Structures are given as C-alpha cells and as structure tokens.
Amino acid sequence: MAVNKLTDNKNIKRPELLAPAGNLEKLRFAITYGADAVYIGGKKYSLRMGAENFDISEIKEGVDFAHNNRAKVYVTVNIFAHDEDLCGLEDYLLNLANVGVDAIIVADNGIFSIAKKVIPDIPIHISTQANVLNVASAEFWKKMGAGRITLARELSFFDIKEITKSVDIGIEVFAHGAMCISYSGRCLMSKYLADRDANKGDCAHSCRWKYFLMEEKRPGEYHPVYEDERGTYFFNSKDLCLAKHVPKLISAGVDSFKIEGRMKSIHYIATVTNVYKEIIDEYFRCPEEFTFREEWIDELEKVSHRHYTTGFFDNSAKKEKTEVIDSASYKRTHDFVGVVKKNESKDGIIKVAVKNRISVGDEIEVLSPGKVFSFRLSSMFNSKNGEKIDEAHANYVVDIPVKIEIVKDSILRKQLTG
C-alpha cells in the first residue's frame, strides 16, 4: 500500500543537507557552511582510498565536533567485500558504535548482515552502489531493517517520487557532484586496466583517460577519433547539478540531499554546501513564492567542476550527451586563494593561509557562511616577520588589514582572467 509522506505545503518536511568530508578540516568546513550531516570514510572499508580518511580517534573528534554543532556523522563501510576483507570488521564496527557515529553506509549484503548483528542500534543506510531503482527493492531493504536508502543515480524524478511516496523509509538522493560512467559506480575498468579495484575504493579513474580505436585486423595501429585537437573522452561523464530541482525533490518528500566529493577541496565543499543550504532556506521561507536565483548557478561555476548536467533526473540523458567528449579537464571561474585562520577584530587584521598567488591590488571575493562580498587588497604583511610584501604564494601566511568584518574560516578567491 502506498505511503503518503506529505499532505500539503504546510507539512512539508525540511530535508537534510549531507556533505562530504575527506578529513577533519573538511568536516569542520562542511558543518560550518551549513551541512546537517557529513559522510566520512575510515582507513578501511571505504570506497575512497584516495581520500585522507579518518582513524578511530579522528572519527571520535569529528563526531564530537558535529554533535556539538547539532550535526550528524555517517561512516562509509561500502566496499564490496571478499572473505579476507571481513577480518577485523566486527571490531571496527564496535569501535564506530563506541565513538557515537550516527549511521553507517553499506552496499554489501554480507557487511549489512554482520552490522545488524554486531551493532544493532546503529542505523544502516544503503549505499547508491546497491542500485536501488524500484519500489520492490526499497521494500526489501526496509524489511531487512535499513534506515535509509541512497537511490541509484539512474532514476528520473518520476521514479524518485514513486519510491518516496510508496515506501516508508528514509530516501536520500545525490544532488550534486561527479558521476560515474558505470552503473551506479560499479565499475571494473580500473581493476582491468590498472589493477586498482574501484569496488574496494581504489579507483584509478580510468574513464578520464584519453582513448583511441584499434581495428581488429590491424593490431598496433591506433586511430584517434577527433572531437577536437585534444582528443576524445567518450567515457568521461559530466557533473550532476540538481540545484534548480531542489523544490521538486522537497515536495516529493526526499529526506536527504547528498553532495558528492570527499576528495574535493574545502573551497568546493564550502561553496557547494553554502549554495544548497541557501536554496533550501529560501524555499522554506515561503514555498509558494520561491524563485530560483541564477546567482546560485554562478556560485557553483566558481568551483572546479566538469560541465553540469541533470543526468537522468528529467530524462535529459536521452536528449543530451552526458559524457564530456572534448576534454578530461575541469573548469572554474575563480581561483581559491586563501582561508582566514584568525580575525583580530580590534586591529582590523585578518590572518590568511594562502593557497594560490595573491597580489596587492587584487579584487578579493570573500565567501562566508551565508554571504559573498568583495574587497580590494591594498596591503599585506608576512606573518613571520611583519615584512610588507606585494605578492604571496601558496603556503604563505599573511596579515591583511581590512575595513570590513571577515570572520574566521571565510574562503578567499579571485576571478580568473583570460
């Protein structure tokens, strides 16, 4: 029997905003910039071995920070495990429970069954890797005792809405970030070409490589398929962006909007989280009068990304090419140039950890939680010796006099030229 989670606009629930965190610094920035929850990976069992990831003491520190700021922490335990991978799993799960994580994210049926036995009080979320595409599959996981399902990315809005209204279980959808050319990320290409198993978290991103064709009877003769002079990248997917569709997903009863990117920078995490929080906040001020602001898309263009697509959400995958055929490179409109580490309000000085070159005279844009503004960099000083300098590079720490309030953990960036 269908379960109607929503009745009218007055009873629409506010969805969770779930952001990625590859280390403690990223966790702190995600929550500071508006995430209601973060998902992280431990040193084992996570599908992002390339991220720094967390040991148990760091998970505890992250959980404490999150809980002190009314946020939650979910830990990915989402590899597809062989028998040898299960050695030590029970102890690891008990450690996660002991430090107070709010849920674990699982794709493998065996890991799911072990977790239900070992840590029965910890909610289990089903990973997108489990390929939940239909009501029957969602019902199955509900009966098994899952608390939430992250739906497969190969679903349209109609599909998402059908599952959400039909099954009384938490529903999470990916709203933003990189997509995999393989079905829900279950790829063998990396294992075959680089002996790095994507299903154990060690993806070599083989889909981003440059490829040629070879005719069967002409071995060794490689024929480029010219899209342009840089080559062709027919396995290389665009990035997902559902920012404009947030109101539709809210009205459908989605419980959590997930941002991809545990290996992305703090600039990416802060910017994208801030944008989606603003959209959700604006919608709930008055759903009937909500108007999407193009400045939100402008903000999303400032971070490093591939061309955006809505993927399968509105069946655009049938109408447009969702792969990037002209390049494996990223695009952005702004450089991430620094982070405010300290604000000496009484002296009008901010201490900045420089990430990319800045120079006196630059127009600097400031991203703080909930707002964006600019100032002209008129002077700066080397924090080590007080020397006045005209230019600073990555790894410098500088003191910058300002006449406006710029809070700690603000992101500094400048527009790219040319």
Place of tokens 């450690």: 95
How many Cβ atoms sit within 10 Å of the Cβ of residue 284?
14
Domains of the chain: 9-181+243-311 (3.20.20.70), 334-415 (2.40.30.10)
Q: DSSP of 114-128, one letter per residue?
A: HHHHH-TTS-EEEPG
Mean of the per-residue pLDDT values for the chain? 87
Residue for token pair 């591939």 = 306
* The token pair that represents 287 in the structure block: 């759903």
Query: How far apart, in Å, are the Cα atoms of 4 and each of 78, 145, 147, 148, 158?
Result: 30, 20, 18, 17, 15
Q: What is the pLDDT along the chain (418 residues), one digit of tens a residue?
A: 344 444 345 578 999 999 999 999 999 999 999 999 999 999 888 866 655 789 999 999 999 999 999 999 999 999 888 999 999 999 999 999 999 999 999 999 999 999 999 999 999 999 998 999 999 999 999 999 999 999 998 899 999 999 999 999 999 999 999 877 665 666 666 676 777 766 666 776 666 667 666 777 778 777 655 555 444 445 667 889 999 999 999 999 999 999 998 889 999 999 999 999 999 999 999 999 999 999 999 999 999 998 898 988 986 545 455 554 445 566 889 999 999 999 876 779 999 999 999 999 999 999 999 999 999 999 999 999 999 999 999 999 999 999 999 999 999 999 998 6
Whether the Cβ atoms of residue 88 and residue 57 lie closer than 8 Å to each other: no
pLDDT of residue 105: 97
- What are the angstrom distances between the C-alpha of 411 and each of 32, 129, 283, 317? 12, 33, 25, 34
Q: What is the pTM of this model?
A: 0.85
Burial class (CB in 10 A: 0-12, 13-18, 19+), 222: exposed
> Quick one: pLDDT at residue 287?
94
- Dihedral of CA 143/149/154/158: which sign? positive
Instruction: Tell me how far apart the alpha carbons of residues 247 and 77 are, in angstroms, rounded to a whole number.
Output: 31
Q: What is the pLDDT of residues 228-256, one digit of tens each?
A: 544 444 566 788 999 999 999 999 999 99
Element (H, E) at 298: helix 294-301
Q: What is the pLDDT of residue 6?
A: 43
Report the C-alpha dihedral over residues 76, 79, 83, 86, rounded to 10 degrees: -10
pLDDT digits (tens, 9 = 90+) for 347-372: 799 999 999 999 999 999 999 999 99
CB atoms within 10 A of CB 109: 12
Residue 238 confidence (pLDDT): 83
Q: Where are the beta strands (DSSP E) in 63-210?
A: 72-76, 103-106, 124-126, 148-150, 170-178
For 198-315, where are the E strands, in sequence order? Answer: 213-214, 222-223, 239-241, 256-259, 308-309
CB 98 within 8 A of CB 109: no
Tell me, rounded to whole angstroms, the distance of Cα 162 from its chain centroid: 25
